[in-house]
Chain A
Amino acid sequence: TQLLEQSPQFLSIQEGENLTVYCNSSSVFSSLQWYRQEPGEGPVLLVTVVTGGEVKKLKRLTFQFGDARKDSSLHITAAQTGDTGLYLCAGAHSSNTGKLIFGQGTTLQVKP
């Protein structure tokens, strides 16, 4: 079974703290994506990484794809209450089909 293990599953922190979410697999992915989902809505794409070792920054969010393209991390600097939500990683084995394998998700709660 091709699985993506995401950790931690739940994270509660104070505003201003830093955090890292991890996404690990034994499989190699052609690309990996991170999504953020709010209650009652569908996931919204944050970033796509395709090259081993790639690092992408989106304001206070830093995404890294592992050298072997089996794992990824999301780091948030100085978290804000607006960062609260469910963060999902998703890997694709084929860029043609677009079929995604999702991690279990990390529920982030940022308290004021």
Chain B
Amino acid sequence: GAGVSQSPSNKVTEKGKDVELRCDPISGHTALYWYRQSLGQGLEFLIYFQGNSAPDKSGLPSDRFSAERTGGSVSTLTIQRTQQEDSAVYLCASRRTSGIFNEQFFGPGTRLTVL
């Protein structure tokens, strides 16, 4: 079956512009996560959606970052007034919540470059 897809794969923008990053999770997965990864580094948790529950936004670095998940499926991560330090790869993952193991399936990421 299809995996997690993300678009665009690459985004170059100018400082101060807004950007939207899209994630299409695996069909039937009720949990969705956004992470940020700096070059060659580990992943930094940003936000987590689970079904109709209020999202866990505890990882968002500033109020310029927001995310929504429409209809329990597709998610959009929005960064307003982008800064150069926002440059990173933004990864989305989804998870089927049944079962005891915590397996997340990752998309290929969106590489964001802020000039």
Please list the residues of chain A having a beta carbon within 8 angstroms of any beta carbon in chain B: 4, 6, 31, 33, 40-45, 48, 50, 86, 88, 90, 92, 95, 97-105, 107
- Residues of B bordering A, CB below 8 Å: 4, 31, 33, 35, 40-45, 48, 50, 56, 91, 93, 95, 97, 100-109
Give bound CA distance, A76 to B45, whole Å: 28
Report the minimum CB–CB distance from B23 to chain A (whole Å): 11
Inter-chain residue pair count (beta carbon < 8 A): 68
Q: Is A50 touching B101 in the complex (CB atoms < 8 A)?
A: yes
In-complex Cβ contact of B108 among A6, A42, A92, A100 (8 A): A42
Known: A92-B102, A100-B45. 13 other contacts (CB 8 A): A42-B108, A48-B102, A50-B101, A86-B40, A88-B42, A95-B102, A98-B95, A98-B102, A100-B33, A101-B45, A102-B45, A104-B42, A107-B40
